[in-house]
Chains A and B, each alone.
Chain A
Amino acid sequence: MVPVFYIFAALTIIAALSVILQRTPVYSALSLIVVLCSLAVLYVSLGAKFLAVIQVIVYAGAIMVLFVLVIMLLNAGRERHTEGSRLARWLGVPLLAAFLVEILSVIWNGLSSGAVAPPAPDAGPAAVGALLFRHYVLPFEVTSILILVAILGAVVLAKKQL
């Protein structure tokens, strides 16, 4: 199991870099799909079977399709180079590097490398469902309202004439 992680980790990183480095939005979207799928594999390696599938179906299957649809609808072509924020240009890289360093140093100092992991809990649909509908039923209901609002919002916003 161990090499699986590293292979797919590498794949994820390469795909992520592709997302941000591609000129054309469509290629970025496709790269993002690759990222999502390889993340799903990593979830499986963590024992979260149910969520890995959810990730693929919902995230990669629905959301990314939506993205691609919109890209095609708007006919977003290659990017042209423009003036941007000077602040972002100068400070962007240093800040990102600093950020990364900070997180990594947390890991370095904080997290122990050799801790023994407890046994993986059963993460199948039944277990997740049980938790969801017992302890997290309120957030669940609120989220459904959220989705309703999102639908309404999307419909209203995308209309040609209100």
Chain B
Amino acid sequence: MEILLLLVLLPPLIGAGLNGIFGRRFSQAMVSAIGCGSAGLSMVSALASAWAFSHHERVFDHPYFTWIQAGDFVAKYALYYDRLTLVMTVTVTVVAFLIHLYSRGYMEHEGGYYRFFAQLNLFLFMMLTLVTAGNYPLMFVGWEGVGLCSYLLIGFYFPKKSASDAGKKAFVVTRVGDVGFTLAVALIFWTFGTVNFSEVFSRVDALEIGSHQTVLTAIGLLLFLGAVGKSAQLPLYVWLPDAMEGPTPVSALIHAATMVTAGVYLVARSNVIYAHAPQALEVVAIVGCLTAFYAATLALVQNDLKRMLAYSTISQLGYMFLGCGAGVFAAGIFHLMTHACFKALLFLCAGSVMHALAGELDMRKMGGLRHKMPTTYWTFLIATLAISGVPFLAGFFSKDEILAGAYEGPTGQPWLYWLGTITAGLTALYMFRALYLTFHGESRLTPELEHHAHESASKMTVPLTILAFFSVVAGYVSWPKAWGGTEQFDKYLAPVFGRSEQVLTLEAAHRPEGLSPGALLTFSIVAAGLGILIAFWFYLKSTHIPARLAERLSGLYRVMVRKYYVDEFYDWLIVHPLRDGSDKFLWRVMDAGAIDDAGVNGMARAAEGVGSILRRIQSGNVRSYAAWVLLGAVIWLAYLMFGH
């Protein structure tokens, strides 16, 4: 078991090291062999450890060596493996491996091939560290590590200013969230005297229900703040759309399937804490739901294919938080798993389209591509159906569980369900809009691109197909209760979440019976169907309608296209004051003025001044010298005689 886990973690690290240090001398084949090989080895080991784990232990919690020791604070390098870890590692490594394969083809003609694979491998290692960590500080190492790799990879085309700016923005904004994480860890240590998962959780569990409410709620909210930054929820989501400057495989892996889900994992892992702090959970649910709706509205008016997918990711992450926040953690993780499949697939398809159209991303300039790129089209279609929550595809099962939980879960509330359902409709709407604009209808391509457009190489389409397959079947691990299912996934993760869900149910106020699960399910299917219909009508049948609507509601439309002016607001609130303050005050006044001028130059001037005064003693005049000597003699005599 141990060896298998090490085999999961180490290959990406070694691959990153090899490619990073020696990659410049390797051929492209060698680089990709190392990169994909290590990812593949990691995946195989992850599957193997999953299989090994299922045969015996409940939890694998092993510390190895002491990493930090400062007074009472001890943090070891410890690995923690339970069913949640299993789900995460399998998801991460499978998706990562497929994306590595895809990148072989996608990045073939880009520069920096070895750098890309080195950073991608490093990212994989960091992400795996994050999910296998046995204590909060080690998890934070992975947390920061994925942030670093995200910055590096977003700014992969760093000669382009917008790319390096986007990298910086991502890092800085997530930093704000990281403050929450760090404070939370500090609070945890202060309250419980340890930061080790098993110890903390057992101590929290031993508490009376309702005791330590303030501290636990604070911890929960602060941890969530970290998640808000990392997983791009309101109000710290602004970095994710800009992060699309990175290469498309990066967007697929980091900003769809894995890194952004770290926040969800954090909340899910800390479910024991949240079980004793239901108000924090409510906040999580509300923020998640609002973000889901908000981002969906923004996705509606995006014309850039990748940006639309970015907002879609934010929206779907909101769903995951809604699930966890409503007390049905398993549903949130379920959606994480399915979303990884279809969102990665969507991004890879976008990459495929970009490749075919020489980098064009504006959907208004596409159209009719389904004939030119059939494989891409079909896989994109499957992913779109999945994300829209069409029955029998993966997204349907997971989204439905979340919505059901929102309605009847321990910390869920009905209005969350309704807003979530409307958002589901919007999701279907914008996804099918994208589908129709890109692949259907009349071609709006420029003449050169008409000739250029072609299906991508099999290096790229094979991963697409595999992911499409998963997008269909991944949902079948859990059949909805309303249709007679037994919620196997829930039960599977019961060792992780079960007790917390119990506790929450005890704490929850009793609510009168509302709609039945079957009704809930029906509504969500109806919403999805409505979305698809409207998209069909607007973008396929009567394509003039969107433009007319935009004219009639021009004010609203403009606000939405400008992303509700949030970026401008942040600019005004934070960026400009900071920059002006730094420029006018910190630089001019403090650095150039106080330190340089008064300090360094000032000392020089003082020395000069003193010197120019003192040099008058050297007047060349013998008489004055004599007077000085006499003065000295008088003083000295006086000291000798009277000084003792």
Q: Please tell me whether chains A and B touch each other in their complex, using a CB distance cut-off of 8 A.
A: yes
Task: Enumerate chain A interface residues (CB-CB to B < 8 A).
Answer: 84-88, 91-92, 95-96, 98-99, 102-103, 105-106
A102 touches B634 (CB 8 A): yes
B136 to A: closest C-beta gap in Å: 75
Say which one of B83-91, B197-205, B622-630 lies at the interface with A.
Answer: B622-630
Closest 3 CB pairs of A and B: A85-B624, A88-B627, A85-B623
Q: Report the bound CA distance from A92 to B619 in whole Å.
A: 16
B637 within 8 A of A: yes
Q: Report the bound CA distance from A78 to B623 in whole Å.
A: 19
B630 touches A106 (CB 8 A): no
A101 to B: closest C-beta gap in Å: 9
A103 to B: closest C-beta gap in Å: 8
Q: Report the bound CA distance from A55 to B641 in whole Å.
A: 33
A96 touches B630 (CB 8 A): yes
A91 touches B627 (CB 8 A): yes
A106 touches B641 (CB 8 A): yes
Which residues of B have CB within 8 Å of A96? 630
Instruction: Find the B residue at minimum CB distance from A99.
Output: B634
Q: A87-B624, A87-B627, A103-B637 are in contact. List 11 more A-B contacts (CB 8 A).
A: A85-B627, A87-B628, A88-B624, A88-B627, A92-B627, A92-B630, A95-B631, A95-B634, A96-B630, A102-B634, A105-B641
B631 touches A91 (CB 8 A): yes
User: What interface size band does chain B fall in?
Assistant: 10 to 19
Instruction: Find the A residue at minimum CB distance from B637.
Output: A102
Which residues of A have CB within 8 Å of B623? 84-85, 88
Listed A/B pairs (15) with beta-carbon separation below 8 Å: A84-B623, A85-B624, A85-B627, A88-B624, A91-B627, A92-B630, A95-B630, A96-B630, A98-B634, A99-B633, A102-B634, A102-B637, A102-B638, A103-B637, A106-B641
Instruction: Find the A residue at minimum CB distance from B638.
Output: A102
Q: Report the bound CA distance from A84 to B634 in whole Å.
A: 22
Instruction: Find the B residue at minimum CB distance from A98.
Output: B634
Instruction: Find the B residue at minimum CB distance from A103.
Output: B637
B274 to A: closest C-beta gap in Å: 85
A88 touches B634 (CB 8 A): no
Q: Report the bound CA distance from A98 to B642 in whole Å.
A: 13
Instruction: Find the A residue at minimum CB distance from B636.
Output: A102
Instruction: Find the B residue at minimum CB distance from A102.
Output: B637
Which residues of A have CB within 8 Å of B634? 95, 98-99, 102
Which residues of B have CB within 8 Å of A103? 637
A119 to B: closest C-beta gap in Å: 32
B66 within 8 A of A: no
Instruction: Find the A residue at minimum CB distance from B627.
Output: A88
Q: Interface 1/0s, chain B 606-643, versus A by CB < 8 A?
A: 00000000000001010110111011011001100100
B640 to A: closest C-beta gap in Å: 9
- Determine the main DSSP class of B at the interface with A: helix
Instruction: Find the A residue at minimum CB distance from B620.
Output: A85
Q: Report the bound CA distance from A84 to B622 in whole Å.
A: 9
Instruction: Find the B residue at minimum CB distance from A100.
Output: B634
Instruction: Find the A residue at minimum CB distance from B625.
Output: A85
B620 to A: closest C-beta gap in Å: 10
Q: Report the bound CA distance from A88 to B628 in whole Å.
A: 8
Q: Report the bound CA distance from A88 to B626 in whole Å.
A: 8
A99 to B: closest C-beta gap in Å: 5
Q: Report the bound CA distance from A98 to B631 in whole Å.
A: 9
Which residues of B have CB within 8 Å of A87? 624, 627-628
A109 to B: closest C-beta gap in Å: 8
Q: Interface 1/0s, chain B 187-214, versus A by CB < 8 A?
A: 0000000000000000000000000000
B637 touches A85 (CB 8 A): no
B635 to A: closest C-beta gap in Å: 9
A84 touches B641 (CB 8 A): no
Q: Interface 1/0s, chain B 527-548, versus A by CB < 8 A?
A: 0000000000000000000000
B414 to A: closest C-beta gap in Å: 98
Instruction: Find the B residue at minimum CB distance from A86.
Output: B624
A98 to B: closest C-beta gap in Å: 5
A97 to B: closest C-beta gap in Å: 10
Q: Report the bound CA distance from A53 to B554 in whole Å.
A: 125
Q: Report the bound CA distance from A3 to B627 in whole Å.
A: 36
Instruction: Find the A residue at minimum CB distance from B630.
Output: A95
Chain B CB within 10 Å, residue with most, of A86, A102, A106: A102
Which residues of B have CB within 8 Å of A98? 634, 638
Chain A CB within 10 Å, residue with most, of B619, B624, B633: B624
B641 touches A85 (CB 8 A): no
B435 to A: closest C-beta gap in Å: 98
Q: Report the bound CA distance from A86 to B628 in whole Å.
A: 12
Q: Report the bound CA distance from A106 to B637 in whole Å.
A: 10
B409 to A: closest C-beta gap in Å: 95
B127 to A: closest C-beta gap in Å: 81
A152 to B: closest C-beta gap in Å: 25
Which residues of A have CB within 8 Å of B628? 87
Instruction: Find the A residue at minimum CB distance from B633.
Output: A99
Partner of A84, one of B621, B630, B638: B621
Which residues of A have CB within 8 Å of B631? 91, 95
Chain A CB within 10 Å, residue with most, of B619, B627, B628: B627
Instruction: Find the A residue at minimum CB distance from B632.
Output: A95
Which residues of A have CB within 8 Å of B621? 84-85, 88
Which residues of B have CB within 8 Å of A106? 641
Q: Report the bound CA distance from A2 to B331 in whole Å.
A: 127
Q: Report the bound CA distance from A103 to B640 in whole Å.
A: 11
Q: Report the bound CA distance from A106 to B641 in whole Å.
A: 8
Q: Report the bound CA distance from A95 to B637 in whole Å.
A: 12
Q: Report the bound CA distance from A75 to B35 in whole Å.
A: 104
B221 to A: closest C-beta gap in Å: 76
B627 touches A99 (CB 8 A): no
Q: Interface 1/0s, chain B 267-311, versus A by CB < 8 A?
A: 000000000000000000000000000000000000000000000
A95 touches B627 (CB 8 A): yes
Which residues of A have CB within 8 Å of B626? 88
A77 to B: closest C-beta gap in Å: 20
B60 to A: closest C-beta gap in Å: 90
Q: Report the bound CA distance from A72 to B40 in whole Å.
A: 113
Q: Report the bound CA distance from A123 to B502 in whole Å.
A: 122
Partner of B641, one of A86, A91, A95, A102: A102
Which residues of B have CB within 8 Å of A88? 621, 623-624, 626-627
A99 touches B624 (CB 8 A): no
